[in-house]
Amino acid sequence: MFFLPSRRYRASPVAVATFAIVTFLLPLPALSQNPADGVSGLRAAVADRLALIPDVARHKWNTAAVIADPAREQRVIEAAVVYGRRLGLSDRITQVAIEAQIAAAKDMQHELIQSWRETGAAQFTPVPDFIRETRPKIEKATDHLIGELGAALDLLTTCPGATALRQPPTGGPASASVWSRAVEGLIQSAGGPPEHACPPP
């Protein structure tokens, strides 16, 4: 709370003007932050999680396992929601965000397995142990993504923040459509703008 000084101690006009100028020039975090910098951690977290999915696809190719696993997917969502609560995120935000990551991961597996069918690929070796290695890495990557989502949540409600997240990383393993599936769910979870509502980058 601010108190105006008494008449006896009132500052000079020059001092008041100087204080006002300095205060005005102090950066507001939400406005001064470069959108690309503000979502860089979340972009990296999305890319890191997607980078683990080819090993999932190789495991399923080798074992002829189906891509979709609704029971497992539900457990992943439930665990993510619990973790999100610890970070102060609403259940809806976390659920929408992680459902999108699961959908993007399945899209990526479909793309990879379809390409292997078309080329007559043999079984892959070596492939990391799915239960002991790949799955724990994905769980850790999911938790990290949720944390980064919480940090970038406010920025994702703006066109600059949403547009910055929509830009896929160079040389990443995910196709443009897979990346879009993953990040649009994050933007939607934050209540951010649809792509058509924002000016092109």
CA–chain centroid gap for 149, Å, is 5
Q: Is residue 86 part of a domain?
A: yes
**Cα separation, 49 vs 139, whole angstroms:** 9
Write down the residue that tokens 């979870």 correspond to. 189
Q: Is residue 150 part of a domain?
A: yes
**Cα separation, 94 vs 81, whole angstroms:** 6
Question: Which tens digits make up the pLDDT trace of 138-153?
Answer: 999 999 999 999 999 9
Query: Which CATH number is 115's domain given?
Result: 1.20.59.10
Q: Is residue 144 part of a domain?
A: yes
Q: Which of 11-25, 39-53, 155-169 has the lowest mean pLDDT?
A: 11-25
Question: Which tens digits make up the pLDDT trace of 24-57?
Answer: 333 344 445 698 899 999 999 999 999 999 999 9
Query: Is the whole-model pTM more than 0.85?
Result: no
| pLDDT, averaged across the chain | 88
Q: Which of 29-33, 71-75, 140-144, 157-161 has the lowest mean pLDDT?
A: 29-33
**Cα separation, 165 vs 83, whole angstroms:** 23
Q: Is residue 103 part of a domain?
A: yes
**Both tokens assigned to 20:** 């006002």
At 12 the pLDDT is 53
Q: Is residue 125 part of a domain?
A: yes
Number of folded domains in the chain?
Answer: 1
**Cα separation, 24 vs 114, whole angstroms:** 57
Which of the two residues, 189 and 4, has the higher pLDDT score? 189
At 30 the pLDDT is 46
**Cα separation, 30 vs 179, whole angstroms:** 25
Question: Which tens digits make up the pLDDT trace of 172-196?
Answer: 889 999 999 999 999 999 999 999 9
pLDDT bucket at 8, cuts 50 / 70 / 90: very low
| Domain interval for residue 56 | 33-197
Q: Is residue 12 part of a domain?
A: no
Write down the residue that tokens 């040389």 correspond to. 171
Q: Is residue 146 part of a domain?
A: yes
Predicted confidence (pLDDT) at residue 109 exceeds the cutoff of 60: yes
Q: Is residue 3 part of a domain?
A: no
